[in-house]
């Protein structure tokens, strides 16, 4: 409605509003939105998956999102949630953007976890050693330096001064041979580094605390008294027990993969979901903002549930009555 | 010989009972806490740095009374004075120690003004989140009927991602708040309220746990048996005993608030564009950081060191306030 010319008289404008359903009561509008979000859009998602995706592309095209139009005598797509900026269906844009976010932010999360776990275990095992002290200091630094400072700092060091890595993530880059794969790898290093520093700082602190808790337990002494090797005691007995709280922390952090990297995506020009959200906010694109935030909400609830269930599965001492 | 020695022993029968030094005055609990706190080097550094920054932004404008907004276009892009050490041809001015930006505004004055904004947001948001967290934690721990509801609400708030929420809140509420409280005041209220409302959950959880344990102790039973009202029990017996966990979570809250405010300013949705904050100075400097890296480094280091100092302070306080660790 914002783009209706000023020459349109007010009573015509009012009629346009009513035709768009803006005069309907709030609960009707809400039910219509629910229908749109939970019934119509998933049908298009299934369509897309059976047509284009790698995993389910072999299935026959479902055409769930299409309705038969009697006038035109053919199948036409149903009415969809339209972005005010691009005038195209929101879900299609979201599906375009998700791979970038998953690649960069997801990989960073994975790298962060893989670095954090050994650091956490070793610094708890050698409590108060030099390694532990340095590790604690580095995690503290990783905790404290915000990504909008580490990002530019790394760009100045590695792109400007040394010239080793590109400073902007090129999303249109296609990987088809070894050289382009190397380029893809090099442009991913900086954003992954920035994000992984934060993940590492957080998870290694949890891991260290958890291993420290477990190392002083009675079963560790029993295991040592049985004559088990130190490696077996730490890497099997202690590790399995101390992973329980850490895994829930990891599961709780997964929704932030999809939403939390707004700043990093902005600094490096990765056009993922976070960048989509912020451009939509600047453009006052309310339908887009609503859809993205609602997707975040679903993710957060789902992963909270998964974390709770995992906790019960991994630790038989915990029972939900 | 033997005679004298036995004689000597008999001379001071109370020697073993006497102190080697004059008796000390009884020690205050907070003196012990201070002693333990001093052992944590990082915490002393952190506390000192936080005090330095707070004093600098409070008293700085009186000592360095240059208007941060004043444009001096003839003296734009002046480098900081230490650039002259390695680059003698650099443009420096002795009355602009940190240099000027691309419009000729004094960077030192901007740093002080920006620090004021960051610190004000940080302290206010922290106090707000502490009072909400403590109130909810005490209510949930003390009144059994409220416990389930309040803790489910805490879980709900814990699952809110703060940055997307803030961005949406800024878009929705910026106009009405600006109309009522002016551009700076409205933004300040918005940031403080949203950061405060989304970071009280840890405090509430910790306080509730402590209150649940304290509630079953004998001194509470004694207080109740002489007819003390619930309000008086909470005020006089429970709250003084949960001060230490509250102080620790206060430091974390301060760090989170400072980072969030800077992130918002960096993304350009925070304070209005002529109002200097550290995050905004950093964001403005990023496009030209190849020529003038110091304009990125100065605010960035200020944010990082402040947050690092606050985090270390929290670590040290946690150790110092824990009686099991104290004295080791």
Please provide the average confidence, as pLDDT, over all residues in chain B: 79
Considering only residues B3 and A118, tell me which one the structure prediction assigns the higher pLDDT. Answer: A118
* B-interface mutation test, from A132, A138, A148, most B Cβ less than 10 A away: A148
DSSP state of A88: S
Q: Which helix (H) or strand (E) holds A67?
A: strand A66-69
The number of beta carbons lying within 10 Å of the beta carbon of residue A32 is 12
Considering only residues B271 and A73, tell me which one the structure prediction assigns the higher pLDDT. Answer: B271
CA–CA separation, B18 vs B3, rounded Å?
Answer: 24
Look up the ipTM and state it: 0.73
What separation, in Å, do the N-terminal and C-terminal C-alpha atoms of chain A show?
A: 52
Closest CA to A260 of A132, A49, A112: A112
pLDDT value for B321:
74
Q: Which residues of A touch B (CB under 8 A)?
A: 137, 140-141, 143-146, 148-149, 152-153, 155-156, 160, 255-256, 259-260, 262-263, 266-267, 277-278, 281-282, 284, 289, 293, 296, 300-301, 304
| Structure confidence at residue A250 as a pLDDT band (50, 70, 90) | confident
CA–CA separation, B123 vs B159, rounded Å?
Answer: 24
Q: What is the pLDDT of residues B247-262, one digit of tens each?
A: 888 888 888 888 888 8
B257, B125 contact by CB (below 8 A): yes
Rounded to two decimals, the pTM is: 0.77
DSSP state of A60: P
Which residues of B are less than 8 Å from A143 in CB distance? 307, 311
| Structure confidence at residue B328 as a pLDDT band (50, 70, 90) | very low
Is the CB of residue B325 less than 8 Å away from at least one CB of chain A? Answer: no
* A-interface mutation test, from B266, B288, B309, most A Cβ less than 10 A away: B266
Is the CB of residue B312 less than 8 Å away from at least one CB of chain A? Answer: yes
Closest CA to B187 of B162, B169, B165, B161: B169
pLDDT value for A1:
60
Q: What is the pLDDT of residues B133-148, one digit of tens each?
A: 999 988 888 888 888 8
pLDDT at B326 exceeding the cut of 60 = no
| Structure confidence at residue B325 as a pLDDT band (50, 70, 90) | low
CA–CA separation, B180 vs B212, rounded Å?
Answer: 42
What is the 3-state secondary structure of chain B?
Answer: CHHHHHHHHHHCCCHHHCCCCCCCCCCCHHHHHHHHHHHCHHHHHHHHHHHHHHHHHHHHHHHCCCCCCCCCHHHCCCCCHHHHHCCCCCCCCCCCCCCECCCCCEHHHHHHHHHHHHHHHHHHHHHHHHHHHHHHHHHHHHCHHHHHHHHHHHHHHHCCCHHHHHHHHHHHHHHHHHHHHHHHHHHHHHHHHHHHHHCCHHHHHHHHHHHHHHHCCHHHHHHHHCCCCHHHHHHHHHHHHHHHHHHHHHHHHHHHHHHHHHHHHHHCCCCCCCCCCHHHHHHHHHHHCCCCHHHHHHHHHHHHHHHHHHHHHHHHHHHHHCCCCCCC
Facing residue for B171 by CB, picked from A153, A267, A281: A281
Residue range A21-25: mean pLDDT, rounded: 75
Please provide the average confidence, as pLDDT, over all residues in chain A: 80
B196, B135 contact by CB (below 8 A): no
Percentage of chain A lying above the pLDDT 70 cut = 90
- The upper half-sphere exposure of residue A252, i.e. CA atoms within 13 Å in the direction of its Cβ, equals 17
Residue range A255-274: mean pLDDT, rounded: 78
Identify the weakest region by mean pLDDT among A1-5, A139-143, A271-275, A311-315: A1-5
Percentage of chain A lying above the pLDDT 90 cut = 0
Considering only residues B7 and B107, tell me which one the structure prediction assigns the higher pLDDT. Answer: B107
Are A155 and B289 a contacting pair at CB < 8 A? yes
pLDDT value for A101:
84
Q: What is the pLDDT of residues B61-103, one digit of tens each?
A: 787 777 777 777 777 777 777 776 777 776 777 777 777 777 7
Q: What is the pLDDT of residues A198-216, one digit of tens each?
A: 888 888 888 888 888 888 8
Which residues of A are less than 8 Å from B41 in CB distance? none
Identify the weakest region by mean pLDDT among A38-52, B106-120, B294-308: A38-52
Identify the weakest region by mean pLDDT among A89-93, A108-112, B132-136: A89-93
pLDDT value for B1:
45
pLDDT at B305 exceeding the cut of 80 = yes
Facing residue for B304 by CB, picked from A137, A145, A277: A145
The number of beta carbons lying within 10 Å of the beta carbon of residue B181 is 14
Give B5 to chain A, closest Cα distance, Å: 50
């Amino acid at each position: 409605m914002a783009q209706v010319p000023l020459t349109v008289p007010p009573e015509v404008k009012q009629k346009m509003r009513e035709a768009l359903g803006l005069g309907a009561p709030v609960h009707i509008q809400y039910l219509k939105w629910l229908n749109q979000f939970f019934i119509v859009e998933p049908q298009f998602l299934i369509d897309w998956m059976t047509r284009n995706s790698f995993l389910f592309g072999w299935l026959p095209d479902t055409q769930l999102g299409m309705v038969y139009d009697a006038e035109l005598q053919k199948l036409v797509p149903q009415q969809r949630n339209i972005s005010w900026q691009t005038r195209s269906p929101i879900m299609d844009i979201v599906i375009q953007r998700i791979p970038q976010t998953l690649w960069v932010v997801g990989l960073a999360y994975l790298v962060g976890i893989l670095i954090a776990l050994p650091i956490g275990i070793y610094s708890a095992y050698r409590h108060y050693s030099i390694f532990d002290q340095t590790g604690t200091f580095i995690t503290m630094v990783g905790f404290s330096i915000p990504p909008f400072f580490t990002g530019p700092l790394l760009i100045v060091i590695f792109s400007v001064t040394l010239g080793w890595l590109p400073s902007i993530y090129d999303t249109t880059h296609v990987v088809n041979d070894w050289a382009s794969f190397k380029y893809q790898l090099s442009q991913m290093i900086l954003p992954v580094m920035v994000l992984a520093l934060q993940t590492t700082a957080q998870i290694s602190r949890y891991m260290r605390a958890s291993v420290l808790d477990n190392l002083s337990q009675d079963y560790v002494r029993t295991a040592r008294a049985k004559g088990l090797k130190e490696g077996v005691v730490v890497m099997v007995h202690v590790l399995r027990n101390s992973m329980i709280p850490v895994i829930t922390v990891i599961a709780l952090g997964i929704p932030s993969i999809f939403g939390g990297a707004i700043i990093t995506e902005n600094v490096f020009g990765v056009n993922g979901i976070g960048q989509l959200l912020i451009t939509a906010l600047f453009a006052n694109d309310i339908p887009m903002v609503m859809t993205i935030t609602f997707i975040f909400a679903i993710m957060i609830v789902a992963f909270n549930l998964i974390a709770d269930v995992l906790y019960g599965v991994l630790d038989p001492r915990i029972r939900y009555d | 010989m033997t005679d004298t020695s036995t004689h000597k022993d008999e001379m001071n029968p109370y020697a073993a009972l006497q102190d080697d030094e004059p008796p000390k005055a009884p020690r205050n609990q907070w003196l012990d806490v201070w002693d333990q706190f001093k052992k944590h080097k990082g915490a002393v550094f952190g506390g000192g740095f936080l005090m330095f920054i707070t004093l600098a932004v409070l008293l700085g404008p009186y000592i360095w009374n240059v208007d941060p907004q004043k444009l001096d276009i003839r003296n734009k892009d002046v480098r900081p004075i230490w650039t002259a050490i390695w680059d003698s041809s650099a443009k420096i001015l002795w009355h602009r120690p940190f240099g000027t930006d691309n419009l000729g505004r004094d960077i030192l004055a901007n740093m002080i003004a920006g620090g004021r904004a960051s610190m004000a947001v940080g302290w206010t948001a922290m106090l707000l989140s502490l009072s909400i967290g403590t109130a909810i934690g005490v209510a949930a721990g003390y009144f059994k009927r409220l416990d389930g509801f309040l803790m489910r609400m805490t879980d709900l708030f814990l699952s809110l991602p703060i940055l997307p929420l803030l961005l949406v809140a800024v878009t929705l509420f910026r106009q009405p708040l600006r109309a009522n409280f002016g551009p700076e005041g409205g933004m300040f209220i918005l940031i403080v309220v949203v950061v405060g409302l989304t970071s009280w959950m840890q405090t509430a959880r910790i306080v509730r746990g402590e209150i649940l344990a304290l509630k079953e102790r004998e001194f509470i039973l004694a207080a109740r048996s002489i007819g003390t009202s619930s309000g008086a029990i909470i005020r006089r017996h429970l709250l003084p005993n949960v001060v230490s966990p509250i102080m620790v979570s206060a430091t974390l809250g301060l760090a989170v608030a400072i980072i969030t405010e800077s992130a918002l300013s960096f993304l350009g949705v925070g304070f209005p564009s002529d109002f200097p904050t550290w995050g905004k100075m950093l964001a403005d400097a990023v496009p030209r950081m190849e020529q003038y890296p110091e304009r990125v480094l100065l605010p960035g280091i200020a944010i990082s060191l402040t947050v690092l100092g606050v985090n270390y302070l929290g670590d040290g306080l946690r150790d110092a306030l824990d009686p099991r660790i104290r004295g080791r």
